[in-house]
Amino acid sequence: MNETMVTLVGNAATAVEFRETATGGMARFRFAVTPRRRDRETQLWTDGPTSFYTVWAWRTLAANLAGSVGIGEPLVVHGRLKVREEEREGGRRTFVDVEAVAVGHDLSRGTAAFRRVVRTEPALTAASHSGADGESDAGSGASRARSERAAEKVAVS
């Protein structure tokens, strides 16, 4: 499948809107990208026209965005470019979206402290792990080892 992948450097123009859906989390925010050029005649930096994109994210990336990004923060967004046209207010309008694969703070403009999100293992039911004789292994050493590893993961972070 041919998809246009882009990497944009700019600022979060709106707060991240997060919603839970049937397939996991969904987040979106507006992203402003303003090119900056050096004018050789005046020896000054000048801003070009600002382009706005709607950035969409799904599942884990969506949840992490909601907890990490605020208005005005410098970001780098990498994802699939999507262009769509719609009839609105009696005219045809063009919208440019980015379906994000990765988003991070632009460290050329500041510092950040990364915090890894600890995911716990899904709860195992006795019915899903019964032995050949129909008895559950919930009290077995293997089950206890899984529980101890999950507890260690939580304790480390």
Taking alpha carbons only, the member of 116, 100, 120, 105 closest to residue 157 is 116
Q: Each residue of 100-118: b (16+ CB within 10 Å) or e?
A: beebebeeeeeeeeeeeee
- Which amino acid, residue 135? E
Q: Is the pLDDT confidence value at 47 over 80?
A: yes
8-state DSSP, 142: H
The pTM of the full predicted model, rounded to 2 decimals, is 0.71
- 86-130 pLDDT, tens digit per residue, is 998 889 999 999 999 999 999 999 999 999 888 766 666 655 444
- 15-28 pLDDT, tens digit per residue, is 999 999 988 899 99
104 Rama sector, left if φ>0, alpha if ψ -120 to 50, beta otherwise: beta
* Three-point CA angle 104, 69, 26, nearest 5°: 90
